[in-house]
Structure formats: structure tokens, C-alpha cells
């Protein structure tokens, strides 16, 4: 198991940040995804640029405060917690992933992979908020 956390300040109001992050059908701002597929109101599938699917199941939604979901694919399973805090016209994000690999050979690379993914997500989010 690996736990990875990233905190940052997004130069945009909380409603705008929340709306972009939770609009899973509009993945255009995500540089790592080729498409998303809505399964139902609590579940969707993200596909990487290489077509690799990860199923996301929402477990907690507290509008403009907290979003949590379980995630699973053939390599890993885990839980993601996103906390959003309004600071004037800016938004503090605090995202934590708790992931377990299914293939032991991947274990040594997990922490670095999670940090890279989180950094890319925040970078993409910051760019999206400049549009």
C-alpha cells in the first residue's frame, strides 16, 4: 500500500474548481485521458491515452468541500479523497490517494507513479482554470 498526498492553491474560486474537477464527462482538460464513460450516477470509467481503463465509484460528495471515490483497474485498487477549501477568490486543494497494487512487481514504483499522476493532474487543473 502507498499513500500519496498533494496540496496546492488554484487561482480560481471554489465553484469553478469544483465544477471542472467533477464534470467527468468533460475530460478535455486532462492530458492523461483519451475518454471517459459514464456507467451510472455513481460510477464512471477513465481511459488513459493508451486506452487503459480505470473504474471510479463515488463514495462521498459534499458539494464544494469533499469528493471521495474508490478506483480499480487490473493493476491496482484504492481510494481517493479530495478536499476543497475556499480562500477568498482562490481554492486550496488537498488530494490524497491510498493505493494497493495487485501485481507485486509494481510495488517499488507505486509511490513515484502516484506522485507523478497527482502532479500532472494539478498542473492540468491549473491550466484549465486559465481558460
> Domains of the chain, with CATH numbers?
2-129 (3.30.530.20)
Asked if residue 105 has pLDDT above 90, the reply is no
The predicted model scores a pTM of 0.94
CA angle 82, 74, 120 (to 5 degrees): 40
Helix, strand, coil fractions of the chain, as percent rounded to 5: 25, 50, 25
Region 90-109 average pLDDT? 94
What is the pLDDT confidence band of residue 131, given thresholds at 50, 70 and 90? confident
Amino acid at each position: 500500500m502507498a499513500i500519496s498526498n498533494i496540496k496546492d492553491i488554484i487561482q480560481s474560486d471554489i465553484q469553478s474548481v469544483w465544477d471542472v474537477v467533477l464534470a467527468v464527462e468533460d475530460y478535455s482538460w486532462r492530458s492523461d485521458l483519451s475518454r471517459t464513460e459514464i456507467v451510472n450516477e455513481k460510477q464512471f470509467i477513465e481511459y488513459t491515452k493508451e486506452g487503459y481503463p480505470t473504474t471510479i465509484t463515488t463514495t462521498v460528495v459534499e458539494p464544494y468541500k469533499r469528493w471521495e471515490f474508490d478506483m480499480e483497474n487490473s493493476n491496482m485498487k484504492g481510494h481517493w479523497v479530495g478536499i476543497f477549501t475556499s480562500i477568498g477568490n482562490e481554492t486550496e486543494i488537498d488530494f490524497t490517494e491510498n493505493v494497493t497494487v495487485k501485481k507485486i512487481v509494481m510495488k517499488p514504483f507505486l509511490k513515484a507513479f502516484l506522485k507523478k499522476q497527482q502532479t500532472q493532474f494539478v498542473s492540468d487543473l491549473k491550466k484549465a482554470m486559465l481558460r
